[in-house]
Chains A and B, each alone.
Chain A
Amino acid sequence: GAVVSQHPSWVICKSGTSVKIECRSLDFQATTMFWYRQFPKQSLMLMATSNEGSKATYEQGVEKDKFLINHASLTLSTLTVTSAHPEDSSFYICSAGYTDTQYFGPGTRLTVL
């Protein structure tokens, strides 16, 4: 139980385009999901907290207009990187809370050319 999936697992796009990443809780409902970003050889950094039916809460320094988060159902949250640039290339990981623990998706590798 407590499985979180992400789609796609990797994506390559051109600079200036937008990319959508999906995060799904497969066997439980999640009122709250989290989005992290990880650069090479660094730790995970929380970007935002996604709340079902309400606006996301962004961490300091994260541009909410660039990283659009939608949590329209209890099993799906999406992260859209708008007008992506090479510096947005990173490993994006989502997580969801189940009982007293958070479970993570496998991550999405974004490369912006």
Chain B
Amino acid sequence: DAKTTQPPSMDCAEGRAANLPCNHSTISGNEYVYWYRQIHSQGPQYIIHGLKNNETNEMASLIITEDRKSSTLILPHATLRDTAVYYCIVRVNFGNEKLTFGTGTRLTIIP
């Protein structure tokens, strides 16, 4: 079973910041928070991951609360191409560890 809870859907205006929440209240000390997204009929795309510090890369920022029970993925300037299902996954930081996908958040960017 997925160890995360995400809202099923969200809308965001094009050009605005999209903030996607994720709850992971049972996260273990050695588990990281990973974010992937899946554009329709494509394989999932890795976005970002983190342990406890906030992380930023060219795609997004990840904000993890101090107690690590929740996090927020931020797409700073959403475009229509960001319309996708976004998955928040917790797992140990090891490439060969399997991923368990929940239902994710369907983000729709509105023109």
Interface residues of A (CB under 8 A from B): 4, 6, 31-32, 34, 36, 43-46, 49, 91, 93, 95, 97-107, 109
Contacts and interface: CB of A to CB of B under 8 A. Distances in A.
Max chain A Cβ within 10 angstroms of own Cβ: one of B32, B34, B46 = B46
Top 7 nearest A-B pairs by Cβ distance? A97-B95, A104-B43, A32-B96, A97-B96, A44-B101, A43-B101, A104-B44
Contact of A105 (B41, B43, B96, B103): B43
B98 A31 contact: no
A107 B46 contact: no
Interface in B1-55: 32, 34, 36, 38, 41-46, 49
Contacts of A31: 96
Main secondary structure of the interface of B (DSSP, over half): loop
A105 B44 CA distance: 8
Contacts of B96: 31-32, 97
Contact of A102 (B95, B102, B104): B95
A28 to B, nearest CB: 10
A102 B46 contact: yes
Contact of B104 (A43, A95, A99): A43
A107 B101 contact: no
Contacts of A98: 95
Nearest to B102: A43
Contacts of A107: 41-43
Contacts of A6: 43
Contact of B98 (A43, A46, A109): A46
A106 B42 CA distance: 5
Nearest to A45: B101
Given A91-B41, A104-B43, 19 more contacts: A6-B43, A32-B95, A34-B99, A44-B38, A44-B44, A45-B101, A46-B99, A49-B98, A93-B43, A93-B44, A95-B43, A95-B44, A100-B49, A101-B49, A101-B95, A102-B99, A104-B36, A104-B45, A109-B41
